[in-house]
């Protein structure tokens, strides 16, 4: 029998937290044969709510779940964890400026970096979900120098999955037959959703989405803006931000990272840039990646046209701005 993996979820009393803990404990993140111990962290004011989540996990009688730690103590939460899903953060409120959001979260991620470095298992894999996700990941990396940069990532898989969903809707095909969309850049409205390398599995074999859609204007305009604005559209409809889709995407992200991407398939992950595709180094940027044996690598050699270049650069510029705002608070 496999040894249990310790998985930390921060912000576990929140919306995404509530959706993801059951997914993890049902094997959707690490596999149906992998026992887990869940560590849940939230702020002291949410301790009762967090305890309620713990009670529900017990009530769900989940055979893979070998233990639950519910705490507001960072050291205890990070103790020995193999996987850390960082969802907790300062929420964006109406009228709040980006600068203020960054500053509040810099403080939180600086403190969590210390806990991560001091208490987590040495090869802990980290996924930052809380916004601004890319810049929170950067702060985490800077303050946890003992953790290899390749172990820290941020979530753009939701945007990636949204892109697959839009293509499937447009072509009236199953989403499982669509692959290799790309999200470039920041998890923000400057991200560049790119379907120009995506394909659909058809009875005639694998076909380029570009050819099947045969509408360059849709691919460059409506598709891009729908994916970029999808989070806002869900908030408008639900009066709450995306939760089940965010939780599901976070499971996809970790599962593919640890168990590997299928041959010929890539996914989008926010990772510390090594300068690939002319993206500046020193920011967390979303790239197409493949994963094998628990390691991601950026897909190389894709053709970038002038349109894509402009969009990719704009998102890189925004990330450099966020970085300098964050550094201003350090």
- How many whole angstroms separate alpha carbon 268 and alpha carbon 155? 8
Per-residue binder mask for ligand NAI (CB under 6 A), 67-106, x = binder: --------------------xxx-x---------------
- Whether the Cβ atoms of residue 251 and residue 28 lie closer than 8 Å to each other: yes
**Which alpha helices (DSSP H) does 60-97 contain, by range?**
74-78
Nearest to 282 by CA among 138, 102, 128: 138
Nearest to 191 by CA among 59, 107, 314: 314
> C-alpha dihedral over 313, 319, 323, 325, to 10 degrees?
110
Decide if residue 15 touches ligand NAI (CB under 6 A): yes
Of positions 5, 8, 30, 46, contacts ligand NAI by CB under 6 A: 46
Count CA atoms closer than 13 A to 290's CA, side-chain side: 10
39 is catalytic: no
Nearest to 158 by CA among 242, 60, 259, 260: 242
DSSP single-letter state for residue 83: E
Q: Was 14 annotated as part of a binding site?
A: yes
- Whether the Cβ atoms of residue 158 and residue 246 lie closer than 8 Å to each other: yes
Given the residues 39, 160, 187, 197, the one annotated as active site: 187
Decide if residue 29 touches ligand NAI (CB under 6 A): no
- Whether the Cβ atoms of residue 136 and residue 130 lie closer than 8 Å to each other: yes
Q: Which of residues 192-251 bind ligand NAI (CB under 6 A)?
A: 241-243, 246
User: C-beta of 88: minimal distance to ligand NAI in Å?
Assistant: 3
Decide if residue 108 touches ligand NAI (CB under 6 A): yes
Q: Which is nearer to ligand NAI, 120 or 213 (CB)?
A: 120
Of positions 9, 13, 65, 126, contacts ligand NAI by CB under 6 A: 13
Chain centroid to Cα 172, Å, comes to 27
Of positions 38, 79, 126, 131, contacts ligand NAI by CB under 6 A: 131
Residue nearest to ligand NAI (CB): 14
Joined together, the tokens standing for residue 10 give 């921060």
- How many whole angstroms separate alpha carbon 245 and alpha carbon 247? 5
Number of residues that bind ligand NAI (CB under 6 A): 27
Q: Which is nearer to ligand NAI, 202 or 225 (CB)?
A: 225
User: C-beta of 304: minimal distance to ligand NAI in Å?
Assistant: 24
Per-residue binder mask for ligand NAI (CB under 6 A), 152-181, x = binder: ---x--x-----------------------
Decide if residue 127 touches ligand NAI (CB under 6 A): no
Q: Was 42 annotated as part of a binding site?
A: yes
Q: Was 123 annotated as part of a binding site?
A: no
DSSP calls for 280-329: PTTSEEEEEEEEETTEEEE-------HHHHHHHHHHHHHHHHHHHHHHHT
- How many whole angstroms separate alpha carbon 32 and alpha carbon 24? 10
Contact region for ligand NAI (CB under 6 A) — 9-17, 60-68, 201-209, 306-314? Answer: 9-17
Q: Was 172 annotated as part of a binding site?
A: no
Strands in 199-202's sheet, in edge-to-edge order, are 178-179, 199-202, 205-208
Measure the N-to-C terminal CA separation of the chain; round to a whole number of Å.
Answer: 46
Q: Was 13 annotated as part of a binding site?
A: yes
- How many whole angstroms separate alpha carbon 45 and alpha carbon 16? 18
User: C-beta of 98: minimal distance to ligand NAI in Å?
Assistant: 12
User: C-beta of 201: minimal distance to ligand NAI in Å?
Assistant: 26
As annotated, the active-site residues are: 187
Known binding-site residues for substrate equal: 92, 98, 131, 162
Known binding-site residues for NAD(+) equal: 11-17, 42, 105, 129-131
| Residues at the contact surface with ligand NAI, assessed by CB under 6 A | 10-11, 13-17, 41-43, 46, 87-89, 91, 108, 129-131, 133, 155, 158, 187, 241-243, 246
């Amino acid at each position: 029998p496999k040894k249990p993996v310790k998985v930390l979820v921060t912000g576990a009393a929140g919306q995404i937290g509530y959706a993801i803990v059951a997914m993890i404990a049902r094997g959707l993140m690490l596999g149906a044969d992998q026992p887990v111990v869940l560590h849940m962290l939230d702020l002291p004011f949410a301790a009762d709510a967090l305890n309620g989540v713990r009670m529900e996990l017990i009530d769900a009688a989940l055979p893979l779940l070998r233990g639950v730690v519910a705490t507001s103590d960072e050291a205890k939460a990070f103790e020995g964890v193999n996987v850390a899903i960082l969802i907790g953060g300062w929420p964006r409120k109406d009228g709040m400026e980006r600068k203020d959001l960054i500053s509040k979260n810099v403080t939180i991620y600086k403190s969590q970096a210390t806990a991560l470095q001091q208490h987590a298992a040495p090869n802990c894999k980290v996924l930052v979900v809380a916004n601004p996700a890319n810049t929170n990941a950067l702060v985490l990396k800077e303050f946890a120098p003992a953790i290899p940069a390749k172990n820290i990532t941020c979530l753009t898989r939701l945007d990636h999955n949204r892109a697959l969903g839009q293509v499937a809707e447009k072509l009236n095909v199953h989403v499982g037959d669509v692959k290799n969309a790309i999200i470039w850049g920041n998890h923000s409205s400057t991200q560049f959703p790119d379907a120009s390398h995506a394909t659909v599995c058809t009875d005639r074999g694998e076909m380029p989405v570009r050819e099947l859609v045969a509408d360059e204007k849709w691919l460059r305009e409506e598709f891009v803006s729908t994916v970029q604005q999808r989070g806002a559209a869900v908030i408008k409809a639900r009066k709450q931000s995306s939760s089940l889709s965010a939780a599901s995407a976070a499971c996809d992200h970790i599962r593919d990272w640890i168990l590997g991407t299928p041959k010929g398939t890539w996914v989008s992950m926010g990772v510390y840039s090594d300068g690939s595709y002319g993206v500046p180094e020193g920011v967390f940027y979303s790239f197409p990646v493949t994963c094998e044996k628990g390691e991601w690598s950026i897909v190389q050699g894709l053709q970038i046209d002038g349109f894509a270049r402009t969009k990719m650069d704009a998102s890189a510029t925004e990330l450099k701005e966020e970085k300098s705002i964050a550094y201003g608070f350090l």
